[in-house]
Amino acid sequence: MKFFVFRLRPTLFAAGLALLLGVSAGTAYAAGAEEVYWSGARSLPVYSVEREDNKVALTFDCAWGVEHTDAILDCLAEEKVRVTFFAVEFWVEKYPEYVKKIVDAGHEIGTHSATHSYMSRLSEEEIKQELESSSAAIEKAGGKQVDLFRAPYGDYDDLLIDTANAMGLLPVQWDVDSLDWKDLSASDIAARITERTKSGSIILMHNNGLHTAEALPIILSALRAKGFSFVPVGELVYRENYTIDASGRQIPKNTA
């Protein structure tokens, strides 16, 4: 019996370790930067940016509807804030006039895929088709080249990140999730964002959240009171000479 127990323990340990690493690696595919537990040599998108100037980026994912989008755009115009929208191709094709509104207002727009699928399940060729097709649709509607990409559901693997980067599309996640898609109240949305935002944060919202437009003025006022200012993602991130740590935070290399 003693001999049996001695042989079993390494097996159980290995099995437990494999399970732990499997759970951790799977969790790293999820949405929030706080959920990235295991990176190793994995390819990661940008969740946030190491900065000391208190700049942050507001982002809005566009996949369904536009009922609240004009109110968001009106608020941003009134507050003189530029943000980044990530649009799915079928949304772009259904509402091309909104792509034009977004671009004409000085905002940035990136691709959120063609079909809003779980892209970690796709082949390299399928990924390329999704990114090429959606980027082309956005560029046709808005007249601006696309160089940012956000994966639907925050779902990704190495192949997706590496393919997007090779195509000149910087993969971007977020480190502050408003959860506005859950129809939280405006005050709850604003509280989640203002409590979690730090210099270099990328904040996730949605263009058609039920209370997002209502929450936006509160968010802008509260974050400004804390000393934050707003730029599109493209002006927040680094395009070269950087590393990404295990939390997905983009850090500039010392080039001195």
What is the pLDDT averaged over residues 214-239?
Answer: 98
Q: Cα–Cα distance between 248 and 34 in angstroms, integer?
A: 9
Q: Average pLDDT, stretch 177-183?
A: 96
Residue 236 binned pLDDT confidence (cut-offs 50, 70, 90): very high
Please tell me the total number of residues recorded for the chain in this structure: 256
Structural tokens at position 55: 């700049």
**pLDDT by residue (tens digit) across 93-132?**
999 999 999 999 999 999 999 999 999 999 999 999 999 9
pLDDT in tens, 49-105: 999 999 999 999 999 999 999 999 999 999 999 999 999 999 999 999 999 999 999
Average pLDDT on 18-32 reads 37
**Domain residue limits, the chain:** 48-252
Asked whether the beta carbons of 178 and 204 are under 8 A apart, the reply is yes
> Residue 105: CB partners within 8 Å, gap ≥ 6?
73, 76, 77, 82
Alpha-carbon gap, residue 194 to 209, rounded angstroms: 18
Count Cβ neighbours within 10 Å for each residue of 76-94 and write b for 16 or more, e otherwise. Answer: beeeebbbbbbbbbbbbee
Question: Distance between CA 8 and CA 80 in Å, rounded?
Answer: 65
Q: Please tell me the CATH code under which domain 48-252 is placed.
A: 3.20.20.370
CA dist list (Å): 243 to 51, 74, 144, 193, 249 = 13, 36, 28, 26, 8
Q: Where are the beta strands (DSSP E) in 156-201?
A: 170-171, 176-177
Q: What is the mean pLDDT of the chain?
A: 87
Q: How confident is the model at residue 254 (pLDDT cuts 50, 70, 90)?
A: confident
